[in-house]
Amino acid sequence: RVVEDLLRSFVHEDFVQELDFKSLKKLNTKFIPLSERSRHADVVYEIKAQGQSAYIYLFLEFQSTVDRFMALRMGRYLFEFYQEVQRLTNDKYLNPPFPILIYNGDQKWTAPTSFRELLHDSAIPSKYLPEFTYHKIAINEIPKRELVKIRNAVSAVFYVENSTPEDIARNRKELVSL
């Protein structure tokens, strides 16, 4: 239910309406390389959309600083995931991903969401350059009044993330109503 609320409330893309949330299944992410042992917040879900599987890749970012190269990191995680899926299933095609970054730091998220934005200008034709973009949900950019309008568990968590202890005490009734 939380994943459904997250996608329906904070991902404003048409494909979300086509997802079959009853088919949502969490996948094992033990394939992440040992050098990335600290990345236990990665969560991968498989979900059907019009009978076809898709992967929803949730990368929960809980550090307090912005990582300019997040698009590179997320792209690497996805390619490692796909390499493992291909090795295990030997499927001819890979299911499409939808990568999401949930950022709860204090600073404004200023890092590029597209891998292309990390590359120098070049004479190399763009068709030869990697293209990768993730969907960013920066909790500190969502107005509290919007969170109150949404009225679900995810918006309540985001409301708390956006609040000081004083704000929470002062707006306790509003928070409880969420």
Query: pLDDT (tens digit, 9 = 90+) per residue, 63-84?
Result: 667 999 999 998 988 888 888 8
Work out the percent of the chain whose per-residue pLDDT is above 90: 48
The pLDDT value recorded for residue 38 is 43
The pLDDT value recorded for residue 84 is 84
Across residues 54-69, what is the average pLDDT? 77
> How far apart (Å, rounded) are the C-alpha atoms in residues 66 and 166?
26
The pLDDT value recorded for residue 177 is 77
Pairing type for strands 97-103 and 135-138 reads parallel
Phi/psi of residue 88, each to 5°? -80, -35
DSSP string, 92-128: SSPPPEEEEEEE--SS---S-SBGGGGSPP-SS-GGG
The pLDDT value recorded for residue 171 is 84
More confidently predicted of 143 and 80: 143
Q: Is the pLDDT of residue 54 over 90?
A: no
Number of Cα atoms under 13 Å in the Cβ half of residue 101: 29
Q: Are 105 and 61 in contact (CB under 8 A)?
A: yes
Across residues 57-62, what is the average pLDDT? 66
The pLDDT value recorded for residue 142 is 96
The pLDDT value recorded for residue 60 is 60
Across residues 40-57, what is the average pLDDT? 78
Q: Is the pLDDT of residue 41 over 50?
A: no
Confidence of residue 53 (pLDDT cuts 50, 70, 90): confident
Q: Is the pLDDT of residue 34 over 60?
A: no
Confidence of residue 119 (pLDDT cuts 50, 70, 90): very high
Q: Specify the pTM.
A: 0.86
The pLDDT value recorded for residue 15 is 92
Rg of the Cα atoms in the chain:
18
